[in-house]
Chain A
Amino acid sequence: MFLYLEKNRDSILDWVNRYAKFDQVIEILPIDFDQHWIRLLFLQKKYLFINLINGVMFPSFIALFPLIVGYSVEGGRLDLLATTILTLLVLRLINWWTFRYHPIYVINIYHSVKTRAYEYLIKVDPLFHSTRSSGQIISKINRGSQSLMALVEMMLFSALSLVASSLTVVISLFIISWQAGLLLTVIYAGLIALSGILFRVRTILHYKVRTGSQDKATAINVESMQQAPFIRASFATQEQIEELMKRNKYAMEQEAIGRRWAGYLMDPIQILFALLMLSLALILWNSGAEPGILIGAILSLAGLGRQLFEVGRTIDKVVVNIEDINDLYEFIRDFGKQTYPVLISDEKTM
């Protein structure tokens, strides 16, 4: 079978392409780097709408599902139970069908940023390239475009569904017990604010060091490849490799430090959060609600709890991704604005 696939690869791929019509939906979007990057998200309105609907409706309903089941069983409402299950199936079907638009939206954004960045740099007066490092440029473009893709995916996959399901549970809790609803709102707000502040502090302190080390590592990686004949002819391959190892190891260390910081910051937040969630469950238990609804509410909370643990991590990624995107946009905006001669001495390690 594998041999058959290998032999007929081209015709199979042709068929897939014809069926999916990728050539009609994949496009390099127009990007103006002088505008805020957030505008980029609205360039594909149709796909954005589909993805937003997908990201809100399905997770909200999933979050509500145990509560509705509890309510239906408690009130003997089998018609409601049947309608709920049917709705879930329909939503799942819509979710499955529309999911295909998600990669198109993300791929168009990711590759458009990359391609337009290179397009812009080609148009810049060659004099501005004369002292720039190709590796540094590649590093910034890759990091910025990858972060934009990660941010969009996170928004569509986790952040949006997290917000939707959280809001649903908060509203439901308010209906059962206003104290529980209020406490959950406070937990949310506190968690988001605390994570936001802590990760912003981390970013201010460490972002430039981390990205700078990445840029320098990529700079030597790319230059070693480009200038390999000269390096080899100078019989300095070993020295170049040592410098390459040194810079890459330093970049790895900075990457590890950044991640470790995230771990250190997340631990106390999560412990605090677990205690608050436990208090919330106790409040609910003592609220006097019907047992079926109560169990449904606690199940909804438990389902949400696992996701809520991700709030800090999500905010961490969002903060870093936004910094990466801003870094790329600022770099592109500034590139070509200097007056010649441009002698940038940012390679102090040389």
Chain B
Amino acid sequence: MKLLIDNLTFSYNEKETLFDGHNLLFESESGTGMYGIIGPSGTGKSTLLSILGGQLHPKGTVSINGIEIYSVADSTRRELIALQIQTSTSLRGKLGYNLRFGLPRNHEIYSDEDLITVLNQVGLWDLFEPKDGLDTLIGEGGLNLSGGQRQRLNFANLYLRAKYFDPALILVDEPTSSLDEISEKAITTMILELSKKSVTLVVAHRLATLNAAEGLLDSSLFKDSKEMRFYTSSELLNVSQYYQDLQSGKVHLDEG
């Protein structure tokens, strides 16, 4: 898997430029592995994830395996990327509809049993089974669910899409921010499972989620260097004050 960012320039407004001619070349021969993005708040972690996911259109080039992600339609893009955004939400409709959202609709890709297995994995089946099971109506924006339930439902949807499309890159933005420790462990296990087939890039709110990360991208370094790169944990300790503070407990990712 080859991820190339060339001369990336992006800002939300004129006053603040998050990326200004930044570059990144990331190659993974196996096309697998979990990687993390860390950094203080407002330094561009989620923005970078959105750019990589084709949700924001910056100046410069962003390509995966030589394919410019903005030049392709959604039908091609979802075979390259699976993305879960930070804001957890859902659509008004049945639980099954929400789980299958983003998958081709012309045929049943997953059986009900498959969906129930995934719901069990994310710890949601116990909630929905006593209601109407997969026919349970989810309210607009998931208003009848808690933040953690919405987050797990969104992750279940991402997991199913990633399993089906087998994309080159999986992007997950704070997948466990509203979860308790048990649920967080379950989701982290599932992320690791996905990372065995695709390069999986995670913005995490707790360092523990990234324990198994093969490399870390630190957004606190983006200001001083236009060359973005993944570091191992020990390498990053040598170059990033923020990561040193993180490791020593002076700062926490939750604050970031």
Q: Name A's B-contacting residues (CB within 8 A).
A: 126, 129-134, 219, 223, 226-227, 229-239, 341, 343-345, 347, 350
Query: Nearest A residue to B84 by beta-carbon distance?
Result: A233
Instruction: Please indicate the chain A residues that have their CB under 8 angstroms from the CB of B149 in the complex.
Output: none
CA–CA, A128 and B61, complex, Å: 47
Q: In the complex, identify which listed stretch (B9-17, B134-142, B203-211) lies at the interface while the others stay far away.
A: B134-142
Question: Chain A residue with minimal CB distance to B89?
Answer: A230
How near does chain B come to A217, taking the closest CB pair, in angstroms? Answer: 14
Q: A230-B85, A233-B83 are in contact. Are A343 and B131 (CB under 8 A)?
A: yes
Q: Which residue of A lies closest to B79 (CB)?
A: A235
> By CB atoms of chain B within 10 A, which of A132, A232, A236, A344 has the most?
A236
- Count of chain B residues with a beta carbon within 8 Å of a chain A beta carbon: 36
Contact, CB under 8 Å: B161 / A234: yes
A-B contact pairs, 11 of them (CB 8 A): A131-B137, A131-B143, A131-B144, A133-B140, A134-B140, A227-B141, A234-B83, A235-B102, A236-B101, A343-B136, A343-B137
Q: Is B247 an interface residue (CB 8 A)?
A: no
Residue of B nearest to A230 (CB): B89
Min distance, Cβ A251 to any Cβ of chain B, angstroms: 17
Q: How many A-B residue pairs have CB under 8 A?
A: 83
B73, B87, B139, B143: most-surrounded residue (chain A CB, <10 A): B139
Give chain A residues whose Cβ lies under 8 Å from the Cβ of B85: 229-230, 233
Known: A233-B83, A343-B137. 18 other contacts (CB 8 A): A129-B143, A130-B143, A133-B140, A223-B92, A223-B140, A226-B141, A233-B84, A234-B78, A234-B161, A236-B74, A236-B101, A236-B102, A238-B73, A238-B75, A341-B144, A343-B131, A345-B135, A350-B93
Please, which residue of chain B has its CB at the minimum distance from the CB of A239?
A: B105
CA distance A239 to B106 in the complex (A): 10
CB of B228 within 8 A of chain A?
A: no
Cβ contacts under 8 Å, A236 to chain B: 74, 101-102
A126 to B73, CA, bound (A): 39
